[in-house]
Amino acid sequence: MRSERGLPRYRRTAFLVALLLTLSVVGAACEGNDKSPKPPPTKHSAKPVDLTFGVWGTETEISAYQGMVDVYNSASGGSDVKIRSWSDHDALMASLKKGGQVPDVFMVSRDDLPWLRANHINQPVDALLDERGIDFGDGYSRDALEAFATENRLQCMPYGISPTVIFYNKALIDFARMRQRNLPAPADDEHRGWSFEQFTAAAKFATRPRKQTRGVYIDPTLRGLSPFVYSGGGDPFNDDTAPTSLALSSDGSRSALARTLALLRDPQLTLTEKQLATATPLQWFERGRLGMIEGTRSLVPELRTVQGLEFDVMPMPVLDSSATVGDITGLCISRRAASTPEAADFLVHATSAESVSRVVQAGYLAPANLQVAFADDFLQPGRLPDHSSVFNSSVRSMRLPPLLEDWPALEDAVGSGLQDLVSAPGVLDLDALTSQIDQESQAVLDPQSVTDNPSP
């Protein structure tokens, strides 16, 4: 029997047991090596405690969180939770980095962990959850647990895991019609996967000069190109734990890029610089003028509001093996929470299947809780996209990039070079450009080497 993750159940169970034993404070070795402050014993305050819950999102998302909080407040005699909200993730983190008050329980991205740990913002949650009888079992994907396990502890509770997939316009791309014309297309309508050849054929099928439509647009960023690099047998980084450089010039990465760029550099099939100057790729997609874009579950509610737009999703195309990246979020407890026991109680409530089911109905969240991920509250049959199961199946192919202290700085350092990969005119010198990008990345990933060996 195989689990939802595609691993034999005995192997999956063994992994979870090993992970939880590693994370548990019951393990003496972990206790000896962990320098984080030990959580206080579970002792609730005699008086109600006011707690804050920090989240980001649209008004609809915040409303969904508020509904979940209201349920908790109506049943809790120990605390009263109030929401503090920001427009997006960057705004929340900017507030924290400027010294703003840390909410007692707050949402983060996996990429935030290095800063949180370096600045002693959060406290591990494994012992607190263990005290409250939380059994992970098969309830969370392996990627979600690994994403927030650092320093031999579970730092935050997995909450959302949203892989990057391909959104496509059903009016521009019809797989049945492609098969009738003997064009490469997925062999069934289950949307389990497709090859890069089929992806390329779909881009050409969607490109219709008389209707001024283009086939595909992929952002020339590390996030946008990484799925193709991984799928083609490469790795964007020279080390998956402590990288000192990008590795786009390595044989595997360069080969994957060469195959990918044959499509992405075709000026007839993708958006031109002139078109991008007038509207974003998402706007072109919403206007029905672009066949395919990358995206995560968070795009769904907005696309549903576009009158006349019929869309669906497919996994990322396969060059050699299935691979994608994505957004992973968790809920953390502040190291200086007004009451750690009360905050832990709320964390248990917020991550329960009932609470997550309430939030996913807004359409934005792809839940890390597998019970909810495979239920109708998330899949929402009868609503677009037709194949929401693609978000679940794509989790199995997610690659976790290294935890870096400053992702934006890395993207800025190599942004110009990545843009040239996709749009530089003339014949592309892939060897020289990928080597240049790798070298530029070292200013962020290994600044000491740049200081010791400055470029001529």
* Strand 157-163 versus strand 326-334 pairing type: antiparallel
Q: Quick one: pLDDT at residue 46? A: 54
253 vs 406: which has the higher pLDDT:
253
Asked if 34 and 141 sit in the same domain, the reply is yes
Q: Are residues 262 and 388 in the same domain?
A: no
Which of 204 and 37 is assigned the larger pLDDT? 204
Read off the amino acid at residue 91: A
Confidence of residue 453 (pLDDT cuts 50, 70, 90): low
What pLDDT, on a 0 to 100 scale, did the predictor assign at position 35?
45
Q: What are phi and psi of 206, to 5 degrees?
A: -80, -15
Please check whether residues 362 and 304 belong to one and the same domain: no
Distances (CA, A) of 257 to 29, 140, 195, 225, 233: 44, 33, 15, 8, 10
Secondary structure E strands in 57-156 = 79-86, 105-109, 122-123, 149-150, 153-154
pLDDT at 24: 43
Q: Kindly state the helix (H) or strand (E) to which residue 409 belongs, with its residue range.
A: helix 407-423
According to DSSP, residue 39 is labeled P
What confidence tens digit (pLDDT) does each residue in 367-379 have? 999 999 999 999 9
Query: Average pLDDT of the chain?
Result: 89
Q: Is there a contact between 330 and 159 (Cβ–Cβ < 8 Å)?
A: yes
Are 271 and 332 contained in the same domain? Answer: no
379 and 289 fall within a common domain:
no
CATH of the domain at 55: 3.40.190.10
Instruction: Note the pLDDT of residue 450.
Output: 73
Q: Is 80 exceeded by the pLDDT of residue 78? A: no
Strands, E assignment, 18-147: 49-56, 79-86, 105-109, 122-123
Kindly state whether residue 402 falls inside one of the protein's structural domains.
no
Tens-digit pLDDT profile for residues 301-355: 999 999 999 999 999 999 999 999 999 999 999 999 999 999 999 999 999 999 9
Q: Give which of 50, 138, 134 is closest to 374, Cα–Cα.
A: 138
Burial 49-79 (b: 16+ CB within 10 A, else e): bebbbbbbbbeebbebbbebbeebeeebebb
For residues 30 and 142, state if they share a domain: yes
Q: What is the reported pLDDT for 454?
A: 62
Domain-embedded: residue 410: no
The answer as to whether 259 is a domain residue is yes
Residues 173 and 298 in one domain: yes
Percent of the chain with pLDDT over 70: 88
Task: Tell me if 243 is assigned to some domain.
Answer: yes
For range 124-150, the mean pLDDT: 87
Closest by Cα among 102, 76, 24 to 355: 76
Give the C-alpha separation, 354 to 377, whole Å.
10
The answer to whether residues 117 and 230 belong to one domain is no
Give the residue carrying structure tokens 């309430």.
358
Provide the CA 89 distance to its chain's centre, in angstroms. 13
Mean per-residue pLDDT for 356-376? 96
**Helix 340-350 vs helix 353-360: crossing angle, to nearest 10:** 60
439: in domain: no
Domain boundary among 280, 314, 348: 314
> Which residue would you say has higher pLDDT here, 276 or 1?
276
Q: In this structure, is residue 270 part of a structural domain? A: yes
Residue 452: its pLDDT value, please?
A: 62
State how beta strands 49-56 and 79-86 pair: parallel
B/e letters for 105-133, b = 16+ CB within 10 Å, e = fewer, are bbbbbbbbbbbbbeeebbbbbbbbbbeee
> Sign (positive/negative) of CA torsion 234, 236, 240, 244?
positive
Report the range of poorest mean pLDDT among 3-7, 73-77, 193-197: 3-7
193 closest CA partner among 393, 423, 425: 393
What is the reported pTM?
A: 0.89
Model pLDDT, residue 405: 86
Q: Return the CA Rg of the chain.
A: 23
d(CA 316, CA 287) in angstroms, rounded, equals 23
Residue 321 is assigned to a structural domain of this protein: no
Residues 30 and 129 in one domain: yes
Say whether 132 sits in a helix, a strand or coil: coil
Are residues 286 and 245 both part of a single domain? Answer: yes
Are 139 and 270 in the same domain?
A: no
Tell me, what amino acid is at 454? P
In this structure, are 13 and 152 located in the same domain? yes
Residue 140 pLDDT grade (very low, low, confident, very high; cuts 50, 70, 90): confident
Pairing verdict, β 311-314 and 214-217: unpaired
- Distance, in Å, from the CA atom of 32 to the CA atom of 19, rounded to the nearest integer, reads 17
End residue of a domain, out of 353, 370, 395: 395
Count of domains in the chain?
Answer: 2
Residue for token pair 């908790």: 72
Containing structural domain, residue 196: 165-314
Domain end position, chosen among 253, 282, 314: 314
Q: Tell me if 449 is assigned to some domain.
A: no
How deeply is 447 buried, as exposed, middle or buried, from its count of CB atoms within 10 A (0-12, 13-18, 19+)? exposed
Query: Which of 36-45, 64-73, 183-192, 313-322 comes out lowest in average pLDDT?
Result: 36-45
